[in-house]
Structure 1
């Protein structure tokens, strides 16, 4: 059953604006990416989405195909963006004889437990964990670029980027974040990885702009109902409304708003936009203050190692396959001492 258009696309966009276009999207099974691709398919595009989880990716492809009668959407699972040969094979399966605009490159939300979607102080961040995020996010973005850029250049040549041409080819969007704009406690791995993606996009814009290819960054803020917010969100602050009040617009964003930004950059309206960073976060990255861990304020949770202990506790629960409950809390208190009771209650916002 098709989702209502209002779930993933505003009414301002005209049907058919992406007729005969193709989108290639890594991480297409994720909440945000699937909404982006669904919007493009609704407006006429065909698509190939790839991801690590076979069942999830294929199921999402079938769901996205319901956005428009006759749409062709292929879902390719079991793909590792760290291995360029898997991406090259996926591109060959794209549902068209010629890959045309646009291409959507994104951090795979369904691989490695969602690269970067975890919190850790540098003191607890192993070199291997740091490298894994870089490999999936930054290197994965570069590999996707390398696998698709020959097709994008050919598309841009056939459909030149001119102010009078409503049918241009060769568009790239990289999905990024705003952590590295100011620095972010507990998100060093993601901040460094995304800074690399931003630099990659800027270089692509300069090197391939003369060939008619545009490259831009789309940076979402906190988006309600996503895997990222499920992992990173502060449940207690969300329940009280404090999390939303930290944003100038007093709310989280929606996947529809990210999809709308995607349509803009890929549409005729975005023909002259190149090398830019479009932040869709309600002005959140400009808000004062740093990340807060439960009731603890910055830098207290770093200086007293409380967040490091929290990570250790949650890791032990996952290792033994346990759920957070009063019994596990009592056991941990017995092992660590009553001083950590407030920390344990924060683990699930109790």
Structure 2
């Protein structure tokens, strides 16, 4: 699909590492003018040094500052909400401050970024909203209830955006990854051990981890004109984990 996004302006949150970075790189290869937003300045500047893109340093949990930063950057044709943080604790071991932060990063930030970009998309009568959720948002999660609730909220919110914005030529879709080989997953494995890794692989039909590039390929498709008749959908990139959900 070389050149599939030529001339499009794309914003990718969490774009300095993992899935977000893979999506940003893929968008640049497809001709998009990409901007990444991340709180990790070092990783963000490294991306700028290696690829032709712009960088906004911001913490998605600070939604007021987030909206201001996006407004200052101008309008976008494509929004990918990839920023997120995982949870590894049973609900009774989770404190209210912890669940509020997980919800802020994984759900409220999606509200804020969407609210910031939608007016310009509506005026242009074109837009692509792509939210990175998780199969946990469809299946639930043992030891990640708040994370699953947030991702389930992202899925429902995206469907609502599809319903509200189809008249403007804006599509809204979700990518639901399974276990993807990212720094976030590797940190979880480092804490939980090899048994956790094997359990993640075993939960998929393909019996392996996915790669960030496999998620990025789905994002490129959903952002392209080839996906112009697809909206309100949840696409699992999860090795078959989502069957039956």
Determine if the TM-score, normalized by the shorter chain, exceeds 0.5: yes
Q: 1:202 offset after TM fit, Å?
A: 0.8
Q: 1:243 offset after TM fit, Å?
A: 4.5
Taking a change above 3 Å as real, the CA distance of residues 258 and 227 of structure 1, as seen in their structure-2 partners, is: same
Q: 1:104 offset after TM fit, Å?
A: 1.1
> Please, what is the CA RMSD of the aligned residues?
2.0
In structure 2, the residue matched to 1:204 is 161
Q: 1:81 offset after TM fit, Å?
A: 4.1
Residue in structure 2 matching 1:213, options 156, 167, 170: 170
In structure 2, the residue matched to 1:52 is 39
1:103 aligns with 2:72: no
In structure 2, the residue matched to 1:295 is none
In structure 1, the residue matched to 2:54 is 74
Q: Secondary structure in 1 aligned to 2:51?
A: helix
In structure 2, the residue matched to 1:149 is 118
Taking a change above 3 Å as real, the CA distance of residues 180 and 83 of structure 1, as seen in their structure-2 partners, is: closer
Q: Give the Cα–Cα distance (whole angstroms) in 2 for the partners of residues 147 and 50 of structure 1.
A: 14
Q: Give the Cα–Cα distance (whole angstroms) in 2 for the partners of residues 216 and 77 of structure 1.
A: 26
Q: 1:86 offset after TM fit, Å?
A: 3.3
Q: Give the Cα–Cα distance (whole angstroms) in 2 for the partners of residues 118 and 20 of structure 1.
A: 37
1:203-282 equivalences in 2 (<5 Å): 203-224=160-181, 226-233=182-189, 234-237=192-195, 243-282=200-239
Give ranges in structure 1 of 5+ residues lacking alignment.
1-12, 66-72, 109-114, 157-168, 288-350
Q: Secondary structure in 2 aligned to 1:103?
A: strand
Taking a change above 3 Å as real, the CA distance of residues 274 and 242 of structure 1, as seen in their structure-2 partners, is: closer
Q: TM-score scaled to structure 1, two decimals?
A: 0.65
In structure 1, the residue matched to 2:95 is 126
Q: Give the Cα–Cα distance (whole angstroms) in 2 for the partners of residues 58 and 85 of structure 1.
A: 20
Which of the pair has more CA radius of gyration? 1
Q: Give the Cα–Cα distance (whole angstroms) in 1 for the partners of residues 165 and 12 of structure 2.
A: 20
Q: Give the Cα–Cα distance (whole angstroms) in 2 for the partners of residues 256 and 107 of structure 1.
A: 16
Question: Greater RCO between the two (CA within 8 Å, min separation 6)?
Answer: 2
Q: TM-score scaled to structure 2, two decimals?
A: 0.91
1:178 aligns with 2:101: no
Taking a change above 3 Å as real, the CA distance of residues 215 and 243 of structure 1, as seen in their structure-2 partners, is: closer
Q: Choose between structure 1 and 2: higher strand proportion.
A: 2
1:63 aligns with 2:50: yes
Q: Where has structure 1 moved over 6 Å in runs of 4 or more?
A: none
